[in-house]
């Protein structure tokens, strides 16, 4: 007999039954993470913080892993969906160790707050309540990769790198067209 998870879905939306059915069919096994995230996306059209927390809790998978998988694979759509995703952890440990400064730096440099995407669709900024890596706070998940003890400068540098890569690609295309 499969033991059902003790946590409740984020809402009483009936679509959660589809997700639960997927997890039940797999015996709530951790290896069904990707399949389960697929069923969330199929049911709701995208993944968000609440759904990720729910899946992590139900499958007993660290939230850091769920965030990593969902932001790394391009088949998953996070809401909102920029080309690149930075998830800043705002859980207690990260808050104390500098998450507010990371968010302020994003606002200052790119003009976006949590849940927003830059006007060019390049970078989405998200927040999470705890991604399960408190020992290396503050933590950001940059395009699916966990970055612990990250500084403001490192975070902004990574985001700038994304933009530079995009610009270099665009310039390369323009040159080829000439
Ligand atoms: S509070 Fe940020 S990883 Fe736990």
- Residue closest by Cα to atom 1 of ligand 1: 91
Cα-based torsion angle of the residue sequence 10, 30, 72, 90 in order, rounded to the nearest 10 degrees: 50
pLDDT tens track for 87-139? 898 889 999 999 999 999 999 999 999 878 898 889 988 887 777 789 999 99
Cα of 90 from ligand 1 centre, angstroms = 7
Q: Identify the CA nearest to 90 among candidates 52, 51, 141.
A: 141
Query: Do 115 and 157 belong to one domain?
Result: yes
Single pTM value for the model: 0.59
User: What is the domain count for the chain?
Assistant: 2
Output the CA torsion sign for 60, 30, 84, 117: negative
Query: Do 54 and 132 belong to one domain?
Result: no
Q: Rounded to an integer, what distance in angstroms lies between the CA atom of residue 84 and that of residue 142? A: 8
| Structural domain span for residue 99 | 84-177
Please report whether residue 6 resides in a domain.
no
Please report whether residue 170 resides in a domain.
yes
Ligand 1 pocket mutation pick from 98, 135, 137, 138 by most atoms within 8 angstroms of CB: 137
Please report whether residue 64 resides in a domain.
yes
Q: What per-residue confidence (pLDDT) applies to 114?
A: 86
Cα of 127 from ligand 1 centre, angstroms = 11
Query: Do 66 and 131 belong to one domain?
Result: no
Query: Do 65 and 109 belong to one domain?
Result: no
User: CB under 6 Å to ligand 1: residues?
Assistant: 89, 91-94, 130-134, 137, 139
CATH number at residue 119: 3.40.30.10
Cα of 27 from ligand 1 centre, angstroms = 28
Query: Do 60 and 90 belong to one domain?
Result: no
Cα of 98 from ligand 1 centre, angstroms = 11
pLDDT tens track for 35-82? 999 888 877 767 888 899 999 999 999 988 998 888 777 667 776 567
């Amino acid at each position: 007999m499969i033991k059902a998870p003790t946590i409740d879905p984020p809402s009483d939306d009936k679509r959660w039954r589809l997700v639960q059915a997927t997890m039940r069919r797999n015996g709530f096994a951790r290896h069904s993470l990707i399949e389960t995230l697929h069923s969330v996306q199929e049911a709701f059209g995208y993944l968000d913080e609440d759904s990720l927390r729910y899946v992590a809790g139900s499958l007993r998978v660290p939230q850091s892993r769920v965030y990593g998988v969902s932001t790394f694979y391009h088949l998953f759509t996070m809401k909102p969906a920029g080309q690149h995703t930075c998830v800043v952890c705002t859980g207690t440990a990260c808050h104390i160790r500098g998450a507010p400064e990371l968010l302020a730096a994003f606002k200052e440099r790119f003009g976006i707050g949590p849940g927003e995407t830059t006007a060019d669709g390049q970078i989405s900024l998200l927040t999470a309540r705890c991604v399960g890596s408190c020992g290396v706070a503050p933590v950001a998940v940059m395009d699916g990769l966990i970055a612990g003890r990250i500084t403001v400068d490192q975070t902004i540098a990574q985001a700038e790198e994304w933009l530079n890569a995009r610009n270099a690609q665009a310039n390369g295309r323009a040159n080829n067209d000439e």
